[in-house]
Structure 1
Amino acid sequence: MNLDTRLATRIHSLRKSCAYSLEKLAELSGVSRSMISLIERAETSATAAVLNKLADALGVSLASLFSEEAEALVASPLSRAEEQPVWQDPASGYLRRQLSPPGYGSPIELAEVTFQPGQKVTFDNAMRSIVTHQQIWMLDGEMDITAEGRTWHLQPGDCLAMVLGQQIMFRNPTSRSARYLIALTATPSSTGRQ
């Protein structure tokens, strides 16, 4: 199963488990009903910004959209490199490799991102339904990360910790690719939507 098909299945399954109609998910996420329908049928590749809005409306982390259903797996603590799903954002071209073992139940999720030169991605959330603590560790290249009105310029070896707020922007200001590790934990917000 390719990653677009896995994402389609996962989003549809999460929507059904929340008992949301397409209209309700569109209202909560700010993503059009027709776009959600296309994504669930794997007829389009959603951008990272769209997936982030859907994840927030569904009460899960963005990283969890790339995981397989836990009940469909025999959970293993090992995630082999050749089995780790890799997804490419159709808007910016950034590559995201899901490192954490799927369905294992660890509170920590790891992903490796390769970010193309000169590109940026902005994640907007009107209201976060989950609290996400995230740390970014730069492996190669440089990135500017803007959150809560403050910008940090990261170079190899730097590590930035944050609680995701209403907007975060990732930007590679250089002419070469950047690569970083993301570690995150997510818990339901006490002010989350129902």
Structure 2
Amino acid sequence: MDLDQLSQALGRNLKHWRAERGLTLDALAERAGVSRGMIIQIEQARTNPSVGTTVKLADALGVGIATLLDFERGPQVRIVSGEQTVRMWSTPAGSDASLLVGSDTEGPRELWSWTLMPGDESASDAHPPATTELLHVTAGELTLVVEGAAHHVPAGSSAAFEANVAHRYRNDGAEPVEMVMAVSIPPVR
């Protein structure tokens, strides 16, 4: 999926889900903490928002990022090829996070693949209450910081935490960190 297709899909789906939820531009802006002008630009496919902005909008709408990015869905089984995964975050050092697949059954669920190069980090704002993140480190040692407390997660280990607080993923080591992460977001009531 190229950047233009991504912008078009995001704009179309943001507009659809905002209407589906009965939200005005102002209501979504307030709920997501994103400016009204930014939402208009996204809906008109005139900008590509940051990962943080996209997550805030998805959280405010109660859908997963995969839903906002218009992945094709089958009735029961959906295969997402490697070419359809979406790199959502990257750094010049070579760190990246890619959304592999997502589902909105009983609240959004997302599966991510992450690479964090030595010295890199990614910060995340708090997600909605009852959001859970599960991660498994396959290489290196992740420093997971939740509410300012650092937790070391070496290769072969997993972690689970409630992500309704600010958190960050950091690589303080000398080798790349590879991890898989699942995110479960409660449905909007």
* Fold conserved between structures, TM > 0.5: yes
Whether contact under 8 Å (2:67, 2:104) holds in the other structure is: no
Matched, 1:98 2:99: yes
In the aligned structure 2, how far is the partner of 1:186 from the partner of 1:83? 25
2:64–2:104 contact (8 Å) kept in structure 1: no
Aligned to 2:135: 136
* Residue pair 2:117, 2:177 contacting (<8 A) in 1 also: yes
What is the count of residue pairs matched by the alignment? 184
Shift, 1:4, TM fit: 3.4
Q: Distance in 2 between matches of 1:152 and 1:67?
A: 35
Q: Distance in 2 between matches of 1:116 and 1:44?
A: 28
**Displacement of 1:181:** 0.5
1:175 and 1:20, CA in 2 relative to 1: closer, same or farther beyond 3 A?
Answer: farther
- The amino acid across from 2:116 in the alignment is F
Q: Does 1:183 align with 2:186?
A: no
**1:43/1:78 CA distance change after superposition, 3 Å:** same
Match of 2:33 in 1: 30
What is the TM-score of this pair, normalised by structure 1? 0.75
The equivalent of 1:110 in structure 2 is 111
Q: Conserved in 2, the CA contact under 8 Å of 1:111 and 1:181? A: yes
Unaligned ranges ≥5, structure 1:
none
Identity, % of aligned positions: 28
Q: CA deviation at 1:64?
A: 4.5
Query: CA RMSD of the aligned region, Å?
Result: 3.1
Matched-pair contact (CA < 8 Å) for 1:145–1:169: yes
Judge conservation of contact 1:4–1:42 (CA < 8 Å) in 2: yes
Stretches of structure 2 lacking an aligned partner (at least 5 in a row): none
Match for residue 79 of structure 1? Answer: 79
- Scaled by the length of structure 2, the TM-score of the pair is 0.77
**Counterpart-to-counterpart distance in 2, 1:67 and 1:134:** 22
